[in-house]
Amino acid sequence: MTVDEKGSAAAAERAPHGANGGHPHQEDYEPVFTGEVRRELDELLTRYPTRMAALLPALWMVQHERGWVSEAAMAEVAEVLRLTPAYVKGVVTFYTMYHQHPVGQHFIQVCTTSPCGACGAEEVVKAFLEHTGCGELGLTSPDGRYTVIEVECLGACGFATPVMVNDEFIESVTPARVPELLAELR
């Protein structure tokens, strides 16, 4: 799935359910784990002695398909893995990489932990906020294209400032490079 498809999938999901999503048995909820995705999960389950162990991978599959993990999707994952929705939600909220709300088509994470902070990461953040039109951290730009957040240590401190755009890792970003990087995303 390309970034573009993911973005529009996220937008489509947003429309009928609102931010909280719906119940998995609601008529307008389309299950994630059917067909090829279901087969992928079944294959994955053979790697672990418990179904629960497939929870993080299953949530990744949801996010890959839908762009975010709605409450309805959490309930579906719970059903598939024989867990409870509350349990799944407890896990989802522990890990920062699962989006609990739809995000922009390009989800931009800038590392600002001390090592990168000492190398000017704050300026990189400012440049992204300015050039994407997001204005504030965590908000999605009016055109739905961008969401910019600060992220804790990305584990690439020697390449300050590292930035992740969706699944792509960009090293050694400076404020001056930001407009050019954004142009490449268009």
Binding site for another protein (CB under 8 A): 20, 23, 47, 49-50, 52-57, 59-60, 71, 74-75, 81, 83-87, 89-91, 93-98, 109, 112-115, 117-119, 151-160, 164, 167-169
Nearest 10 degrees: Cα torsion 112, 115, 121, 122: 70
Please say which residue, 143 or 168, places its beta carbon nearer to another protein: 168
Closest approach of Cβ 179 to another protein, in Å?
Answer: 20
Closest approach of Cβ 11 to another protein, in Å?
Answer: 22
Closest approach of Cβ 62 to another protein, in Å?
Answer: 12
Closest approach of Cβ 115 to another protein, in Å?
Answer: 5
The 3-class secondary structure across 43-100, one letter per residue, is HHHCCCCCCHHHHHHHHHHHHHHHCCCCHHHHHHHHHHHCCCHHHHHHHHCCCCCCCC
Residues in Cβ contact with 8 at an 8 Å cutoff, skipping those fewer than 6 apart: none
Please say which residue, 138 or 142, places its beta carbon nearer to another protein: 138
